[in-house]
Structure formats: structure tokens, C-alpha cells
């Protein structure tokens, strides 16, 4: 099987700083990873994804890093804004079909 966990339940950052949210997975056969953003009372929104044949992928203000050696991925948010306040969780796909989800890190952005 697979288990996915995040390192910190809560992260507080100052507006304008960079944020780094971490996620660890257990199964080296996981081949595809997604980061989601979930605002309070809403459904998760896709942010960025990365496949196991890549180490890094960049989007608009976000970067995902994948370290397959230690089974770790991170989400970096540049110039964090108040609108970035939400719960962020990762998902790891195992055996090309089933996703396992982390419990999430709540990002608090202080003005």
C-alpha cells in the first residue's frame, strides 16, 4: 500500500515571504503526485502535479520538488499572499490507479 503524510499541521508565514510545505510518501512505486489547495468549507483545487521521471516542476508562483531517494516532495509558494491561506495536501498515485492523500498543512499568512 501507500501512506502519505505532511510534516507540519500548521505553517505561519509573513505576507511576501516564501512558503515551503512538505510531504512524505512511503511507496517507492508511486509514480505521480499532485498538490491540492483547499479553502475552508470548499472542495480541493488542483495546484500543480509532477511525475516520477521529473525532479522539479514550476507553475505560476509555485514550484514542486520531488526527491525520490528519500520519498519526499515539497511545494514552494513564492511571495505568499493572504489569498494563499488554506489547507494544502499532497496526493500520491500508486500502481497507476489509486491515489493516497495526506492530511494537509494549514497555511496561515500574516499581513
Binding-site ranges for other proteins (CB under 8 A): 4, 9, 32, 34, 36, 41-46, 49, 89, 91, 96-104
Q: With respect to other proteins, which residue has the nearer C-beta, 67 or 95?
A: 95
Pick the closer one to other proteins by CB: 4 or 109: 4
Whether the CB-CB separation of 36 and 44 falls below 8 Å is answered with yes
Residue with cell 494549514: 106
Q: Given the complex with other proteins, which of 80 and 102 has the nearer CB atom?
A: 102
Q: What is the dihedral of CA 11, 16, 20, 21, to 10 degrees?
A: 50
**CA 55 to each of CA 3, 4, 17, 64, 75: distance values in angstroms, whole numbers, following the listed order:** 20, 18, 23, 8, 12
Minimum Å gap between C-beta 55 and other proteins is: 19
CB of 68 to other proteins, least distance (A): 19
Amino acid at each position: 500500500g501507500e501512506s502519505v503524510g505532511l510534516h507540519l499541521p500548521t505553517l505561519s508565514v509573513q505576507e511576501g515571504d516564501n512558503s515551503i510545505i512538505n510531504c512524505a510518501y512511503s511507496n517507492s512505486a508511486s509514480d505521480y503526485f499532485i498538490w491540492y489547495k483547499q479553502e475552508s468549507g470548499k472542495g480541493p483545487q488542483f495546484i500543480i502535479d509532477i511525475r516520477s521521471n521529473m525532479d522539479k516542476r514550476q507553475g505560476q508562483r509555485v514550484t514542486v520538488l520531488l526527491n525520490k531517494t528519500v520519498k519526499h516532495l515539497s511545494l514552494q509558494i513564492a511571495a505568499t499572499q493572504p489569498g494563499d491561506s488554506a489547507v494544502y495536501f499532497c496526493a500520491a498515485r500508486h500502481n497507476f490507479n489509486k491515489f493516497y492523500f495526506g492530511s494537509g498543512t494549514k497555511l496561515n499568512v500574516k499581513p
